[in-house]
Structures are given as C-alpha cells and as structure tokens.
Amino acid sequence: MIDLRNRFYVATFQDEAAAVAGEYGLGLEFNQTCISEALDQENREALLAEMRALKGRDYILHGPFTEIYPAAIDRRAREMARERLEEAFEVCKALGVKRMVVHNGWLPFIYFKEWQAEKGAAFWQEFLRGKPADFFLYIENVLEDEPLMLADMMKRINDPRINLCLDVGHAHAMTTEEFPLQRWIKELAPYIGHFHLHNNHGRSDEHAAFDCGTLDMQSVIETAVRCCRRDAAFTIEARDTRACARWLHERGYI
C-alpha cells in the first residue's frame, strides 16, 4: 500500500482536527474562512490568531463559499465574490499559505452548464492575474451532477495554477447513475490537484466517516492514486476525523 501521509490533511471544522493531525503527522485545511463574514476586517485579528494556534504539518485554506457565484449574471454579485475571495487571499498571505480551495458556485436551473464553464473560467483566470506564481487554486464541485461541465471549464483555462478539488461526497450525493465516482476521477484526472474525502448514502451530504456510506472509499483512493498526478493531496472532511485517520492507518495510507 502506498504511503500517503505527506499528502493528507484534516479539515479544521472538526474539533479533534489539530490533535489528529499531530498524532498522525498530517496537514490542516483551515475552514475558519468558509463563512464569508468571518473575513470582515473587524474580525481579522481574532481570525488569524485562531488559525495560528492550530499546528499541522502543512496548510491549505478553504476560501469562503457562502453566496460566492463566480458565474453570476449580475456583475455586482461577481464583484462581491471577487472581494470576498481577495480577503481570503489576504489571509493566505498573512499565514504564508500557498493553496486555497474555492467553490465552483454552480446553481442548477439558474445557469446553463456551458455558461458556467465559460464564465467560471474567465472569473478564475482574472482572479489569479497578478498573484504569485506559487499560489494555487483548487475549484471544488458541490451541486454538479456530472463531471463534464468541470472538464469543459478547465479546458478553457490557461493557467497551471488553477486546478480542481474533487469532493467525492458531493459527487456521490449529486451524480447521475451514468457517472459513478470512479468515472468522475477518470474524466477529471488531468485537472485534479486535491480531494475532499467523506462518505454518504448517495442521497445527502452527510460528511460521514469513510466506512459509513455506500462509497467504496478504498476504491476511490486507489483510483485517485492510479489516475491522478503524484502530488494530488487529500483532506479528511468527515465529521469523525479520528475514525477516518484510524481507517487510513489500518490500511497503510498514513
């Protein structure tokens, strides 16, 4: 079994995140900036202090996702998204974090998929323009019911700093029967730089432990390792972080 310890992170929304990261030598994915209002200037010092107090091997930041719609038809909505994401980038700079997860923001029945692919590509390229060459984005799926729209978007992007974060739990809860999770990985493999791992029963976003759902998580990880690039990383995003870390350790991944 391949040792993935240096490629695994723990999401900090879980109370035991820092303890588990320390015990197993894992990194942390900061979730303190997921809710946009946490980025307000009057909250900034307390926010940074809270994040600096958490110790991990390495760090990724999950940017804000509340009301962030990169392909919004209303330019003011796009401007607000850009402003909030710029605030998250400032937090990254303050902490020395070089990687940020962001949400794709697709709304079914509101945006056509071709529109999302085109406008999303333009938004993310513009957002990264002028930012350091060693700063990377990972665009996460949420409500997407198949992987082809994301692949279309990525083909339109001409910036190696922009990658995908495949959230396997979201994909499993939303996907059509035509697209089992292994197909998601194979279709998107050239673009995936990060994974969010958690399980569910295919109906809702449970963020359950790896052995509590209908996803075969071992098959998911093995497909990811086989199909994706060697530096693709993984974040434990289940509510029971310790159970997932134990599961990974028992199978020789960490």
For residue range 114-128, what is the model confidence (pLDDT) as tens digits?
999 999 999 999 999
Give the other-Cβ count within 10 Å of 231's Cβ.
9
Q: What pTM does this model have?
A: 0.97
Q: Residue for token digits 């909030």? A: 84
- Residue 1 reports pLDDT greater than 80: no
Task: Give the pLDDT band of residue 24 (cuts 50, 70, 90).
Answer: very high
pLDDT at position 248: 98
pLDDT at position 2: 82
The b/e string for 8-34 (b: 16+ C-beta within 10 A; e otherwise) is bbbbbbbeebbebbeebebbbbbbbbb
Return the percentage of the chain with pLDDT > 70, whole number.
100
Return the percentage of the chain with pLDDT > 90, whole number.
98
Residue 66: burial class (beta carbons within 10 Å; 0-12, 13-18, 19+): exposed
252: left (phi over 0), alpha (psi -120 to 50) or beta: left
Q: Please compute the mean of the pLDDT values over residues 132-156 and round it to a whole number.
A: 98
Q: Please compute the mean of the pLDDT values over residues 145-172 and round it to a whole number.
A: 98
- Residue 65 reports pLDDT greater than 80: yes
- Residue 254 reports pLDDT greater than 80: yes
- Residue 221 reports pLDDT greater than 90: yes
Q: Please compute the mean of the pLDDT values over residues 144-155 and round it to a whole number.
A: 98
Q: Which residues pair with 99 in a beta bridge?
A: 136
Domain ranges (residues) in the chain: 5-244
Dihedrals phi, psi of 129, to nearest 5 degrees: -60, 125
Q: Please compute the mean of the pLDDT values over residues 40-52 and round it to a whole number.
A: 96
- Residue 138 reports pLDDT greater than 90: yes
Give the other-Cβ count within 10 Å of 122's Cβ.
16
Q: Name the average pLDDT for the chain.
A: 97
Q: Please compute the mean of the pLDDT values over residues 183-201 and round it to a whole number.
A: 98
Task: Give the pLDDT band of residue 42 (cuts 50, 70, 90).
Answer: very high
Question: Residue by residue, what is the 3-state secondary structure of the chain?
Answer: CCCCHHHEEEECCCCCHHHHHHHHCCEEEECCCCCHHHHCHHHHHHHHHHHHCCCCCCEEEECCCCCCCCCCCCHHHHHHHHHHHHHHHHHHHHHCCCEEEEECCCCCCCCCHHHHHHHHHHHHHHHHCCCCCCCEEEEECCCCCCCHHHHHHHHHCCCCCEEEEEEHHHHHHHCCCCCCHHHHHHHHHHHEEEEEECECCCCCCCCECCCCCCCCHHHHHHHHHHHCCCCCEEEECCCCHHHHHHHHHHCCCC
Q: Please compute the mean of the pLDDT values over residues 161-176 and round it to a whole number.
A: 97
Q: Please compute the mean of the pLDDT values over residues 76-90 and round it to a whole number.
A: 98
> Domain 5-244 is classified in which CATH homologous superfamily?
Divalent-metal-dependent TIM barrel enzymes (3.20.20.150)
pLDDT at position 49: 97
What's the CA gap between 44 and 59, in Å, rounded?
A: 18
